């Protein structure tokens, strides 16, 4: 799968999330460091989703790149009443690792 964006513009620094493609799998390992910066506001629901993704330690798949090339993931969590709660997040921070595909032997 090749959807990397080629060479960065002069002086531009490519961040890891900018290299993600649709279909890539990522696992969240810690809260994004930007969330702890003074004056950086993050909705409490977003923080809760990050905490749950970190705790469950399962990878999630990038399902789309938006118009600004931001990668998005979807996830769902079961509520206490048994119904599903759906979420989607744009990944434009650190706190995740790329999950390498397993090699299959036949």
Order of strands across the sheet with 25-28? Answer: 84-90, 71-78, 60-65, 25-28, 96-99
Report pLDDT digits (tens) over 52-82.
999 999 999 999 999 999 999 999 999 999 9
The pLDDT value given to residue 14: 75
Confidence of residue 104 (pLDDT cuts 50, 70, 90): confident
> Is there a contact between 95 and 32 (Cβ–Cβ < 8 Å)?
yes
Write the DSSP string, 10-70.
TT----GGGG--TT-EEEE-S--GGGGSTT----HHHHHHHHHHHHH---EEEEEE-TT--
Instruction: Assess whether pLDDT exceeds 50 at residue 1.
Output: no
């Amino acid at each position: 799968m090749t959807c990397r964006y080629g060479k960065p513009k002069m002086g531009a620094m490519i961040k890891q999330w900018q290299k993600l493609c649709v279909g890539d799998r990522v696992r969240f390992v810690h809260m994004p460091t930007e969330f702890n910066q003074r004056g950086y506001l993050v909705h409490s629901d977003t923080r809760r989703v990050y905490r749950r993704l970190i705790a469950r330690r399962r990878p999630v798949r990038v399902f789309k790149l938006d118009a600004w090339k931001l990668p998005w993931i979807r996830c769902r969590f079961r509520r206490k009443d048994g119904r599903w709660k759906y979420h989607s997040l744009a990944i434009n921070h650190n706190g995740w690792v790329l999950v390498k595909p397993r090699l299959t032997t036949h």
